[in-house]
Each structure stands twice: as structure tokens, then as C-alpha cells.
Structure 1
Amino acid sequence: MASKEAKIHTNSPSSHERAKYVYVPEEVIEEILSHLPIKDAACLSILSKRFVNSWKLCRNLSFTKEISKKFTRPGFINFINMFLLKFSGKNMHRFSLYFDPAEHIDLVQCWVHKALKCEITELELDFTVAEQTYMLSFFLSNIENLKVLKLNKCELDLVPKPNGLCPLLQITLQNVRVPSFTLQAMFSNCLKLRTLELISCEFLYNLKILAQDLKGFSVLVVKNCSGLLSIRINAPTLQTFHYEGKICEFKFESGLPDLSDVVLNITSPRAFQLLPHRNSVVIALANVTTLSVNHTFLEALCARFGEHGYMEMDFFLWKLKEFQLLVGGESHINPLDIAIFIKKCPCLQRVLIDLGKYALAGSVYWEHHGRKLFQDVLKKCPIFTKPRNCWCKK
């Protein structure tokens, strides 16, 4: 009897060994599992009986491109069905799908409806692998909890007064045809909208951002939208504006007192100086604290010889604190142009200049006039007395 007790005592963990293990309550484990991607949550089911149904606790159902590569098309469909159609959880956070809906558009609708019933707050549909673009409007009447909507290569057919659009805070449209009536419906019905991203979209010839009735609209991103001729902005609460693409006409129809972060990456070489209303663009930047531009923008503001001699554009960016400049090989600006611009930003604290391979090439003007003026500007500009706050990348 004594030997048996000794054996039991020998096999049982000591108090020191037990101290290595900490008991984790079930609710804590459930909270951790709820934030894992579906693939990781499913892998945990083989650990022990405690984790057999771990995938059911997942709130992030992301069927991404990386996951789809590991399956055949039928296998990927079965994988989604296994996790989504049998899923009974509530308060799901996210549903993301990378898929070609060809011949399975009804199944995609079923998946989306199931996800919406699980009270998702973020929906992302990426159909870039598809040969054609698909129209989506079937879910617009049932998005009571949806906050974020991201569509890639999906047509968004907005009815005049769709139900349930009010909760949306962010809309991202990529590779989508966006006619003017679609945008008008967004601004009329998405009254809580904060962020709008338009990436590689079409039909945006004269883009109108009429968000004067939206109290929280703060972020506008427009990138590489073909055929864009003008951008008309009426958004008094706008704080961030990022634009990347060819030259177009910018019209600001309201004051922008909160605009603080601006990116203007204009891909048309030497075209900004031809832009009408460029003075209004500079005025719109009056309250900006962070500005990132390429050389095309700066060329429009450079000092030039005109009918009345050497002239500088009259402007000051009083609140600008951080300035980033990308200088490409086709640039015609020189160090003096950069120095003069910086001189007009008296509160500047940080400067980052990214030089291209052939940037700042020598010119007759620079050799005979610009170099001396550049040295004079350096002596008067406080920012150049603090080299720790200036970076030049080449």
C-alpha cells in the first residue's frame, strides 16, 4: 500500500511544476479564439477536446486569396460551406471572400445573407479573379450592423432609397464602375459615413463629393481612377485627402478648416502648372499640418521668370509641420525651388525628400542664378539650422 502511494506521489506533478501552468477561464479562451482567422481557429481543434469546436468561436471569417490557393475550386466551396453554412454564432466581426462567382452567384448570395444574419460589422468581397463584373444589390436591404463595406470588381447597384445604409462608416470601391447617381445615393443615405475610398474606379469623369450634410465625413482617398477630369469637393468636415493619378481640376466649394493631412501624387509630368484654379488648391491647404507631394505639384509653385521678371507665387502654409517630397527623374525643379517652398512654411518641423535617380539635374538657370539664391535662402530659413529634422533619401 505504501509503495503504491509512493508511486502515485512520484508520478503526480510537484507544486513547483504545477506553478508553471496557469488555468485560463473559458471566457478568456473564447475571447482569444474569437479574434483568430478562421484557418488558425480550425487548426486548434486538433489540440484537445477543449478546442474541438474552437472554429465556432471565430468572428473573423476571412476566406482569403492565400487560403483559396490551397484548394481546388470545389474544395474551396466545400471549405466555405463547412464553416459558414453550419456557423450559428452571433456578433461575427468580419466576412471576407476572395472568389470567382461564375456559375455560383446564387451561392455567394447565400453566403452573404448568412454572414449578415450573424451580425457582421465588416464585409469584403473581392472578385478580381473573375473574368466579368457582377452586380450586387441583394444585400442592401439588410445591413443593420454593417459598418465597413469593401468591394473589388463588383458592381454596386444602389436603389434611390436603400434601407439600412445609414450604419455604414467606411466604403471602399476598387475596380468598380461608379456612376454619379451611385455616389449621390451614398451621400444621401449613408449619413454616418466617415471614409470613402475610390481605387481604380471608372465612370468618375466629374467626381462630386457632396458631403455637406454629413457630420463625420473625414477621409477621402482617390487613386488611379481612369478618365477623371475634375474633383468637386464640398465637405466642411474633411480632415484627410489623398489623391494619386493624372492631372485633373480640383474645385473646393467649401472651407476646409479641419483639413490636416494631404497627399497629392500627380503622375502627369510637368502638368500641374497648367491646372486652372491652382490658387484655390493652395488656399485649401491653409490649415494642413502634414503634406506629401511629388515634384509635379511643386513645379506649379516654383519661382519663374515672367513678363515682370523673376516672380514667386504668393502663398504661405502657416500650420504645416511635416513635408514630404518625391522628386522623379523627369523633374525640372532644383534645390532653390525646394528651399523657397520651405521658406514659406514657418512652422515646419520635419522634412523628407526622396530623390530619384536623375533628380535635380543641372541647368543653366541653376548654375548662373539658382545656386547663389539657394545659399541665401538657407541662411534665412530656420528649418535648415536643425539638420536632425531633415532627411534626404536617394
Structure 2
Amino acid sequence: MAPPTRRSRVEMAESSNKRMKPSETVPEDVLELMMSTYLPVQSLLTTRVLSKRFRETEVRSLDLDFSGIYSRRRRKVEVVGIIEKVFNQHKGSEIHRFVLLLNHIGVEDKIISWTNTCFGKNIKELVLDFSKARKVMAIPIDFSAVESLQVLKLRWCKFEIPDSSPKGLKLLKTLSLMRTQVMVKTIDAIFNNCIHLESLELIECRMDGILSIRAQNHKKFKSLVVSFMPDLRHIRLDAPTLENYKYDGYVICVNILITNALKEANLYYTRIRRLYHQKSDLVDTLRFYTRLTVLATTTIFLEALTKRYVGEGRLENPPFKFENLTEFKISFITPTFCTLFDIAEFLKECPKLKQVVIDIQNFTFEPQMYFWEIHHKAQIQNTSNNNYLLKCLTDVKIIGYKGHWHELDIVEFFVKNAPSLKRLELQMPKNAKNDAHTPDVARIKLIKTIFSGVKVTEV
């Protein structure tokens, strides 16, 4: 059989293109209904402007996402006018998603009207972000009366829920609150009513004293985020199904009753104003994290694990092992006394570790590190006893690499102690030329003779 000629190939392509035109295969009314219903609202509005054919298409959008409509080229009054027009023209029986990022001052009545319209059309996901106003909106809406809501995210917006709601928020899976007052009774009411809750985020919320999560009867609650709540002093978690825990803030007391399901933790500890933290509080919480498979934290965590005097001049490490840990990320924050020694001492307690990320992009080691040189360097570089052998480690990444001599100590440590190493990436910031050190060519060459797969990238 002869191969097709150029002309026949062109004819075949043209025929294929004709068959693929949706306007010729899908009935006009069906195509218009699909566009009016399933296109995100901003895409629909753009289509109505650019296409004469769809200029009169009805607005039935299930997804009313207005998060990107606010820009420097649009004044607030214009944005409000567009949103108001959409709601006035909306002919659909349902709205599944409403996302609003707006300065609420002066248009509170319209926001309440839009939100109530969504409540009447079986809203499933509601996101209200009033951070542009830098003022909390006390919205007089009873969220607990909404039966269909599954995702609720409020930024700079007051949230209240009665302790016993017969119908409302029973289907809620995700709740995220930012910059609002949170009371003890509010937390209790959330877990009494939202029986299907899977994720809770509390970000920069005002709450004094103790955050107590009583989710012992919940079967789906898996994720908790507590981010920068400086007045918080204690966290108590009774959540047997909790898998992911993220905390960002000062070191405080934490008590987790059951940790069998806990797999991932992001513990971004920061210094308080006096550059002091309660080390004993952190040591007391370490036992809750020994079963983790994924851990991201800061050098404050490692400082709590350093050797300390236990009497008679003896130094001992806190007795913690991380038998299940496979991924570890450490972020260096200033000030810290942590060095490669502290990293290595921790890693040797993680026999299943596969991936390590060291973030030093906002940190620079001192030019001279006398304690490391005198007390720790020889111990780390002694490979005869294999105290620091990392048999399972395959991936290492150093973020913010600047070529400091101690950074090369870290690189050399991994290439010598990780026999299964496959990837070692050094991410150098593009704007870090002033901070970068003169390359130690001889040492880099030595490292590459041990492991040739070292990769340097600019980010």
C-alpha cells in the first residue's frame, strides 16, 4: 500500500479538524447551558465580552470565584458593580462555590445579600476574605443555620456558632479562621456540631490561655493548623484520628493524648521577643512526635535535643528515637548555636530516613566556629566507627547554599555517610552573589570524587 501523499495528509487533517469542532457536534442549547453553568464565572464573563455568539448567555455558574477580580486597574466600586450584576442575573438553582476578596467597608449590606443568596442555593464552599480592609467584619449571618456547607474559610471575619445546632454545619469538612476572636466555647461548639470535620485552621486568631480540642468521638478529623497565636499558652489535643499537625509560633506546652495516627508535623518554632524559649516545655513534648514519618521544624527543635549535664560532669542526650521518620526538613533561624554536629546527632536516631532538606536561605554560619572546631569536628569526621551511617538516605537538598566552609562540611558529611545517596542538590539563590563565598575548588573536587551526582542550581 502506497504511503499517503502530502495532499491527502492535508485533506485528512482538515477533515479531522472539522469533525472536532464542538459547535458542529454539540447542540447549540446544550453548549450554551454547559458554558453558563460549568465555566468559572470570570471565564464566563470574559467569553460574553469577547464572543458575540455568547453575549446573551445566561449566568448559571456554579463557581462564583471573584478572588482575582480585584486589581489595580479596577476601582472598588467597579468590582462591586460586576459582582452585584452577576448575582442579579444569576438564573441557576445552585451555587456550589463563592470566593470573595474585598474591602468590605461601605458595602456590608451587599456582601450580606450575596452570601444569603448563596445560602439559598445550596452553597458548598464559602470563602470570605476581608484582609484588604485590615478590619474584622462582624457579619450578622448565622453560619450554623446552613446545612449544605462543606468548606468555610473566613479571613478578618467574625465567626460564631451556638453550642447545639440541630442542622447547621453538620456536613462541614474544612474550617479555616484567620484574624478573628476565638473563644473556648467556640472550639467546643465546632466539635460538638461539625461531626464530619476533617481539617481545622486557626491563623493569627486571638485566643487566651488554653486551646483544647476534644475530638475523641470524631472519625474523620485528620488535620490541625495553629499559626501564630501569641497569647496561647497551652494546647491539649484529644484527637485519636489526627494525622497532620502544623504549629507556627513560640514554644508552648503541648499535650497530645493519643498519637497512634499522627504521621506528619510541621513545627515552625520562633523566638520570643527576649530571644528566650522554654526549653523544658519543648523537651516535654518531644515524646509526642517520635512516631512521625514526616517532620519539618526549625533549629529550636534541635537545640532541645542537644546534650546536657545530668550530674557528675556527664553529658547525655534526651532519650528519644524517631524510628519511623522518612522525611526531615530543618530551617535555620537566627540566632542559633546549631551546627552539623546537632544535625548529625539527630539523624543518627532516624534509621529509616530517606530524604533530608536543610534550609539556610535566611541564615549564614559564622566565619569562625570555635566550639565546632575544638569539640565536634573530629567526632563527626571520624568514619571508623560508623556512628553516623545513614543507610536508607537517598535524597538531600540544601536550600540557600552559599559556599560557606561549614556548608561544605555538611555536604561532605552526607556523601561520606549515605551509601545509598542518589541525589544531592545545592540550591543557590540568584541574588546571593554578595553573600556567596569564594569556592573551595580543591574541597569541592574531593567531594565530587566521592559522589559525582552533586547538583548546583540557582533559584
* TM-score tier (shorter): 0.7 to 0.9
Cα deviation 1:267-313 (Å, max 9, x = unaligned)? 1177556233623x222113211100110111001123442412111
Number of residues of Structure 1 aligned to a counterpart in Structure 2? 380
Question: 1:211, 1:161 → 2: CA distance?
Answer: 16
Residues 386 and 358 of structure 1: is their aligned pair in 2 closer, same or farther, counting only changes over 3 Å?
same
| Whole-angstrom distance in 2 between the partners of 1:211 and 1:84 | 38
Q: Give the 3 Å change call, closer, same or farther, for CA 393–353 of structure 1 in structure 2.
A: farther
Pairing 1:98-247 to 2, within 5 Å after superposition:
98-130=101-133, 132-162=135-165, 163-247=167-251
Matching residue's letter, 1:78 = G
Code of the residue aligned with 2:316 in structure 1: it is M
Bigger RCO of structures 1 and 2 (CA < 8 A, at least 6 apart): 1
Q: Contact between 1:96 and 1:123, CA under 8 Å: does it hold in 2?
A: yes
Partner Cα separation in structure 1 for residue 136 and residue 157 of structure 2: 6
CA–CA separation in structure 1 for the residues paired with 2:13 and 2:331: 60
- CA-to-aligned-CA distance 1:9-48 (integer Å, 9 cap, x gap): xxxxx88634313142355775566454322211111454
Equivalent position of 2:91 in the other structure? 88
Shift in alpha-carbon separation, 1:244–1:33, aligned structure 2, 3 A: farther
Shift of the 392–314 alpha-carbon distance from structure 1 to 2, 3 Å rule, reads farther
Aligned equivalent of 2:81, options 75, 78, 81? 78
Could you tell me which residue of structure 1 aligns to residue 410 of structure 2?
A: none
Amino acid at match of 1:160: D
Q: Which residue of 2 aligns with 1:6?
A: none
Give distance in 2, aligned partners of 1:165 and 1:244. Answer: 27
Aligned in 2, Cα 1:17/1:366: closer, same or farther, shift over 3 Å? Answer: closer
1:388 has 2:394 as partner: no
Taking the aligned partners of 1:335 and 1:15, their CA distance within structure 2 comes to 65
Pair 69,146 (structure 1): closer, same or farther in 2 beyond 3 Å = farther
2:341 to 336, 342, 352: 336
- The answer for the alignment partner of 1:9 in structure 2 is none
Q: 1:223 to 1:50 in 2, by over 3 A?
A: same
Contact 2:142–2:160, Cα closer than 8 Å, also in 1: no
3-state DSSP of counterpart to 1:129: helix
Aligned counterpart, 1:312: 317
1:365-376 equivalent positions in 2, closer than 5 A? 365-376=371-382
What is the deviation of 1:320?
Answer: 0.3
Cα separation, 2, equivalents of 1:96 and 1:52: 24
Which residue of 2 is the match for residue 3 of structure 1?
A: none
Shift of 1:209: 1.5
In 2: Cα distance, 1:68 partner to 1:159 partner: 37
1:28-47 to 2 correspondences below 5 Å: 31=34, 34-47=37-50
Report the counterpart of residue 20 of structure 1 in structure 2.
17
- Following superposition, the deviation at residue 245 of structure 1 comes to 1.0
Q: Secondary structure at the match of 2:217?
A: coil
The TM-score with structure 2 as length reference comes to: 0.76
Checking the alignment, whether the CA contact within 8 Å between 1:303 and 1:312 is kept in structure 2 is yes
* 2:255 paired residue among 247, 251, 266: 251
Q: CA RMSD in A?
A: 2.7
- Residue deviations 1:243-277 (CA, integer Å, cap 9, x gap): 1111211111x211111110011011775562336
Note the C-alpha offset of 1:392: 5.7
Asked if 2 retains the 8 angstrom alpha-carbon contact of 1:353 and 1:391, the reply is no
Could you say if the C-alpha distance between residues 61 and 330 of structure 1 is closer, same or farther in structure 2, counting changes exceeding 3 Å?
Answer: same
Query: How many percent identity over aligned positions?
Result: 26
Q: How far off its partner does 1:53 sit?
A: 4.6
- CA deviation digits over 1:48-77, x for unaligned, max 9? 455235562422212225435443333322
TM-score normalized by the length of structure 1:
0.87
Q: Distance in 2 between matches of 1:142 and 1:375?
A: 64
The aligned residue for residue 4 of structure 1 is none
Q: Match for residue 327 of structure 1?
A: 332
User: 1:93-115: CA deviations, max 9, x gaps?
Assistant: 21011223334323221110111
The structure 2 residue matched to 1:291, chosen from 272, 281, 295, is 295
Asked if 1 retains the 8 angstrom alpha-carbon contact of 2:142 and 2:161, the reply is no
Letter in 2 for 1:39: Q
Q: 1:60 aligns with which of 38, 60, 63?
A: 63
Give the letter for the 1:108 counterpart: I
Checking the alignment, whether the CA contact within 8 Å between 2:36 and 2:59 is kept in structure 1 is no
Alpha-carbon separation, structure 2, partners of 1:88 and 1:118:
11
Aligned mates of 2:366, 2:425 — CA distance in 1? 16
The structure-2 alpha-carbon separation of the partners of 1:74 and 1:393, relative to structure 1 and needing over 3 Å to count, comes to closer
How far, CA to CA, are the matches of 2:307 and 2:369 in structure 1?
A: 15
Give 1:210 shift: 1.5
Whole-Å separation in 2 of the counterparts to 1:97 and 1:337: 46
Counterpart residue identity of residue 93, structure 1 = H
Q: Which amino acid aligns with 1:62?
A: D
**What amino acid sits opposite 1:20 in the alignment?**
N
Q: Which residue of 2 aligns with 1:276?
A: 281
SS of the equivalent of 1:111 reads helix
**SS of equivalent residue, structure 2 residue 422:** helix
**Distance in 2, Cα, partners of 1:128 & 1:233:** 29
Pick closer, same or farther for the CA change 1:268–1:361 going to 2, 3 Å.
farther
Q: What is the CA distance between 1:173 and its match in structure 2?
A: 0.4
For 2:211 and 2:345, the matched residues in 1 are separated by: 33
